[in-house]
Structure 1
C-alpha cells in the first residue's frame, strides 16, 4: 500500500512538472515556427523542410511532454534533454533561414534565456554550445549560405513571438517565485512548529523562553513559565495504542491553545509534556489560567473511546535567583515533579 502511494505521488509530480514545461514549449515553438515559416516561404523551401518545421513546432511539444511524464527515473534529466534538443533545433533553423537577422537573433536569445531561467548560467551556456554546433553543421550542409536581410513581412511574423513569449516567461517566472516563497514559508513553519499540535517545537519554545528571561533581567518585566504533563500517558499508549495517544496529544493541544492569552507562548516540550511562557504575569494570575486548563482537561472526553485524562502542572515565576533559562525550567520542572508526587491532577508553584 505504501509503495503504491509513493508511486502514485511520483507519477503526479512528473505529470505536473512536465505540464508546466509543455505549455511554455508549445507556445514558444509555435510562435517560433511562425517566424521561421515566413522566412522559408520567401526562400521557397522544399516540402521536407516544411514538414520538419511542422513536426518541430507543433508535434514535438507533445512528444517532449510524454517523455517527461513516462520517464521512470528523474523527470528533470529528461526535461533537460528536451531543452538541449530545443536549443539544437534552434541552431538548425537559424542555418535553414540563412541567418536572416531578426528571426535568427530572436530564436537565439529566447531559446537561451529560458534555458538560463530553468537550469542556470552553466546549463544556458551548454545549450548555447549545442545550438552553435548544430547551426555550423547545418550551415555547412547548405554551403554556408548567408543572407541576413529581414523583409517587412518577416518582421511582422516575428512580432507575436517578440511580444507574447517574453510576457509568458514573465508570468511563469512570477508563478515559480511565488511558489518558492510559499515553500520557504512552509519550511520555516516546519522548523518552528510541531506538526502534530501546531504549537512551537522544543527548540523554538526554548528560544522564546530565553528571550523572555532576558527581558526580565533587562527591564524587570515579570513572567511565569509553566510545564504541563499528561498524567499516565505511557499507560494510554500501551493500553490504547499510539494512534489514540496521538489523538489525546492533539486534543490537549487544542484545549491548551484555547486557554492561552494572545501574548502567551505555548510549545511542545516533549512527547506528552508541554510548556507555556506567560509574559507580564505573576504566579497568582498564572495559577488561575492553569486551573482553568486543568478543569477543562478533566472534563473533556478524549478520542472516540470516551477516554478521560488529567494533567499535572508546575509553574515558576521569574526572580533574581534565576540566572539562566535552565534554572527557570528546572524550577518549574521541580514543581511539576511535586505535583505528580502529590497524586497528579494538581498544580504546584515552584520556588
Structure 2
C-alpha cells in the first residue's frame, strides 16, 4: 500500500474512533444519568447537583468528542484522559447517591468494564483508583453518608441502563473485532503481495516456486518456471522518468495477470523482472502462453505517451540435475539472458 494511502487510512481510523467513543459515551452517560437522577429525586438534591448532572450526562460527551478531535496527533491519549475523567465522575455520583446499592454498583461495573475493553486491566485499575479517590473525597464532603437501600422506582430507572448499555458494548466490541480481522487480512495481504502490481512479492513467489519444485521431486509432476524481463527498461526510466517507468511496470503486470491461469502463480521478482510458476505444465504448453503474452506486450501502448515495449522470456523445466529452487531460477535466468543476447523480444527454453 502506498504511504499516502496508509496515512489516509490511519486518519480515517482516528476519526472513526473518536466518533465511536462519542456515541458510546453519550449513550452510557445518558442512561447512567437516569439512574442517578432517580436517586437524587428521592434525596431532594439541591439545584447545583442537578446542574452538574445535566452537564456530565448531556454536555460532557460533546466536549469529550471535541477534545479528541482537537488532538488528532494523539487521539488515544486524549481519549484515555476522557475515560479517566468519566471514572472520576462516576465515583463522585456514587458518593452523591450515598452508595445506593443498585445504581452505585451499575456505575462502578459499567465504567470499569469499558475501561478493560478499551485499555486492558492495567488501565482499568488506574481508572478504578481515580473513581475510588473521587468517591472518598466526595463522600467525606457529605459526612460519609451511607444509605445502600434501593427503592423500587430507582430499580425501574436502572433497568434501561442494565439492559441497553451492555448490548451496545457487545455490538461495539463485535464491530471492533471484525475491523481488527479486516486489518489483519489487509496486513497479511500487504506482506504477501507487491503493492504496485498486485502480484506476489519476491519472497512469496520464491516460496511458491520452492513448493512446486518439491512436488516435482516427490511426484515427478511437470512444471515450468518462467522469468520475464522488460527490454531496455533503464532507457525508459532515463528517457521518460521513473513515473512513466512505474506506469509501464503496473500496466505490464495487468497484462501478465490477464494471461495467468487459475493454477499459475505470478510474482514480481525484481524491479522490471517478473516470474511465473506454472504447475502441471510442459515447456511446449508454457511456450504457447509465453508467446501469447509476448505478442500482447509488443502490440500494447504503454502509458499516455503510447510507449511500445517488448519483453524477453526464459523458461525452465525441473529435471534431476536441479536440486534447489536456486538451480531452477538460474536455469530460467540463463535462458532469459540468452533471449536478450539473441536480440530481445523472444523466448528461450533453458536446459
Shorter-chain TM range is over 0.9
8 Å contact kept, 2:315–2:332: yes
1:19 Cα deviation (Å)? 1.2
For 1:283 and 1:153, the matched residues in 2 are separated by 84
Where has structure 1 moved over 3 Å in runs of 4 or more? Answer: 4-15
Q: Match of 1:277, SS? A: strand
Corresponding residue of 2:98 = 98
For 1:112 and 1:154, the matched residues in 2 are separated by 21
* TM-superposition CA deviations, 1:142-174 (whole Å, max 9, x none): 111111110000000000000110011011111
1:16 Cα deviation (Å)? 2.7
8 Å contact kept, 1:18–1:69: yes
For 2:107 and 2:7, the matched residues in 1 are separated by 38
Pair 1:11–1:210, CA change in 2 (3 A): closer
Once the two structures are superposed, the pairs formed by residues 216-235 of structure 1 within 5 Å of their partners are: 216-235=216-235
Corresponding residue of 1:68 = 68
Q: Does 1:77 align with 2:68?
A: no
Q: Match of 1:315, SS? A: strand
8 Å contact kept, 2:14–2:72: no
Q: Match of 1:173, SS? A: helix
Corresponding residue of 1:24 = 24
8 Å contact kept, 1:22–1:61: yes
For 1:262 and 1:219, the matched residues in 2 are separated by 21
Q: Does 1:249 align with 2:249?
A: yes
Q: Match of 1:212, SS? A: helix
How high is the TM-score relative to the length of structure 1? 0.96
Once the two structures are superposed, the pairs formed by residues 184-333 of structure 1 within 5 Å of their partners are: 184-333=184-333
8 Å contact kept, 1:301–1:308: yes
RMSD of aligned alpha carbons: 1.6
* TM-superposition CA deviations, 1:257-314 (whole Å, max 9, x none): 1111110000000000000000001111111110111011111111111110000000
* TM-superposition CA deviations, 1:316-350 (whole Å, max 9, x none): 00111100000000000000000000000000000
* TM-superposition CA deviations, 1:218-248 (whole Å, max 9, x none): 1111110000000000000111111111111
How high is the TM-score relative to the length of structure 2? 0.96
- Structure 2: which 5+ residue stretches go unaligned? none
Once the two structures are superposed, the pairs formed by residues 146-185 of structure 1 within 5 Å of their partners are: 146-185=146-185
8 Å contact kept, 1:91–1:131: yes
1:5 Cα deviation (Å)? 11
How many pairs does the alignment contain? 348
For 1:189 and 1:228, the matched residues in 2 are separated by 24
Pair 1:247–1:7, CA change in 2 (3 A): closer
For 1:12 and 1:189, the matched residues in 2 are separated by 20
For 1:283 and 1:271, the matched residues in 2 are separated by 26
For 2:131 and 2:61, the matched residues in 1 are separated by 18
* TM-superposition CA deviations, 1:69-119 (whole Å, max 9, x none): 112641111110000000000000001001100000000000000011110
For 1:186 and 1:113, the matched residues in 2 are separated by 30
